[in-house]
């Protein structure tokens, strides 16, 4: 029986209040220390199901270095530590208040500029009781590649069979900078990221790159996840051409453009600090930071989801080829008309 009820988005401040989606279940939560690898494969990786794992981050240096104690035993981001120790030349930041195509508008700034903006907004809210926390969300920071000598965490054993990052780690561009510069392959660095966002920052509805697996660990903070199974992904696409999908399930979704959206059945999860969530292939999800949050995220694939990845790449190649055919046809027609004129 499917129960239609308000999701935990109703607990959020601002635009999240009052929105109702059909939530039919919650993501299972297990003690990662008592789970064997074979059990993880059989129960979650093979059947492609999400799970939250606890008890796997207690020894991570990042849990101490990157945070400080807050009220009620909640950890908070230690922003000065980042500014002092990880002064990356530029970091990629999403402005959660501005849409650009299917994602948030992206900016580049120094770590110090990001921290200053966060602190300035936080001070304004604290002193006046009004205003908004920072809408800037640091995303896709290639921390491991930029600071290889600082071991912030250890990849849990469930996720070490990682063909994607294993391949990229051995890529020639890491040994010969001229190759990387010639081919402009900066995006091939790796798929290991750090995210840092204030309460209220969020990520629009999406499925992960290449239809890979991902895992995400909260070093501190809380996140609300809403998942849609691959078997229902057609419900969030434009009924006319299946090219555009719902951007934000928390806004008024056009019934004309997405007539089946209200049939979608969502699975919900509130991820606490020190918990790791496994995101299977092809599951669309939208994520909100319910507190100031730092997370570590990997995209990866192996034999169990390789068919997802190859299928996605094949479709992308066919789509790109079709676009080039259309462009070439228009070019030929325009050129022929000019010749005739």
Domains of the chain, residue spans: 5-304, 308-341
Asked if residue 206 lies in contact with residue 279, where contact means CB atoms within 8 angstroms, the answer is: no
pLDDT value of position 10: 56
pLDDT value of position 78: 97
| Distance separating alpha carbons of residues 274 and 259, to the nearest angstrom | 39
Helix-strand-coil percent breakdown of the chain, rounded to 5?
35, 30, 35
CATH class of 5-304: mainly beta
| Distance separating alpha carbons of residues 291 and 62, to the nearest angstrom | 18
Asked if residue 57 lies in contact with residue 276, where contact means CB atoms within 8 angstroms, the answer is: yes
- Segment holding 181, helix H or strand E: helix 177-183
Asked if residue 135 lies in contact with residue 199, where contact means CB atoms within 8 angstroms, the answer is: no
pLDDT value of position 323: 59
Asked if residue 272 lies in contact with residue 218, where contact means CB atoms within 8 angstroms, the answer is: yes
φ, ψ (nearest 5 deg) of residue 309: -65, -50
SS3 for 227?
Answer: strand
Residues 6+ away with beta carbon under 8 Å from 151 = 61
pLDDT value of position 96: 97
Token pair of 159 as six digits: 């996720």
| Distance separating alpha carbons of residues 131 and 237, to the nearest angstrom | 35
Asked if residue 194 lies in contact with residue 40, where contact means CB atoms within 8 angstroms, the answer is: no
Each residue's pLDDT tens digit, 209-243: 999 999 999 999 999 999 999 999 999 999 787 77
pTM of the predicted model as reported, rounded to 2 decimal places: 0.86
pLDDT value of position 184: 46
| Distance separating alpha carbons of residues 279 and 88, to the nearest angstrom | 28
Each residue's pLDDT tens digit, 136-182: 999 999 999 999 999 999 999 999 999 999 998 887 765 665 555 55
Greatest Cα-to-Cα distance within the chain, rounded to the nearest angstrom: 78
DSSP lists the bridge partners of residue 202 as 288
The residues of the chain scoring below 50 in pLDDT are 1-5, 13-18, 183-186
Question: 43: exposed, middle or buried (C-beta count within 10 Å: 0-12, 13-18, 19+)?
Answer: middle
pLDDT value of position 71: 86
pLDDT value of position 73: 84
| Distance separating alpha carbons of residues 164 and 41, to the nearest angstrom | 18
Residues 6+ away with beta carbon under 8 Å from 263 = 22, 232, 235
Residues 6+ away with beta carbon under 8 Å from 106 = 92, 93, 94, 95, 100
């Amino acid at each position: 029986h499917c129960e239609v009820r308000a999701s935990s988005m109703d607990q959020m401040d601002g635009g999240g209040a009052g929105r109702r989606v059909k939530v039919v279940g919650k993501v299972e939560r297990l003690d990662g220390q008592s789970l064997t690898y074979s059990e993880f494969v059989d129960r979650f990786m093979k059947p492609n199901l999400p799970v939250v794992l606890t008890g796997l981050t207690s020894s991570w240096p990042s849990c101490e270095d990157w945070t400080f104690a807050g009220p009620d035993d909640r950890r908070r981001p230690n922003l000065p530590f980042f500014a002092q120790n990880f002064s990356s030349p530029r970091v990629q930041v999403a402005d959660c208040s501005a849409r650009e195509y299917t994602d948030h508008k992206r900016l580049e700034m120094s770590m110090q500029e990001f921290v200053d903006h966060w602190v300035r907004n936080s001070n304004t809210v604290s002193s006046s009781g009004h205003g908004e926390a920072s809408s800037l969300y640091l995303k896709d920071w290639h921390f491991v590649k930029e600071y290889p000598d600082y071991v912030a965490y250890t990849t849990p054993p469930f996720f070490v069979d990682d063909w994607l990052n294993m391949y990229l780690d051995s890529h020639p561009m890491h040994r010969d900078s001229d190759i990387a510069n010639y081919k402009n392959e900066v995006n091939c660095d790796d798929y290991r990221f750090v995210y840092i966002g204030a309460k209220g920052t969020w990520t629009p509805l999406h499925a992960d790159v290449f239809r890979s697996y991902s895992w995400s660990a909260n070093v501190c903070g809380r996140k609300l996840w809403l998942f849609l199974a691959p078997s229902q992904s057609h419900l969030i696409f434009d009924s006319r051409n299946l090219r555009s999908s719902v951007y934000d399930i928390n806004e008024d979704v056009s019934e004309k453009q997405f007539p089946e959206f209200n049939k979608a059945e969502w699975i919900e999860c509130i991820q606490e600090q020190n918990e790791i969530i496994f995101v299977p292939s092809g599951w669309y999800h939208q994520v909100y930071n319910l507190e100031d949050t730092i997370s570590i995220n990997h995209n990866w694939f192996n034999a169990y989801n390789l068919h997802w990845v190859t299928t996605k790449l094949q479709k992308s190649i066919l789509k790109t080829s079709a676009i080039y055919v259309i462009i070439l046809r228009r070019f030929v027609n325009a050129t022929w008309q000019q010749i005739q004129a």
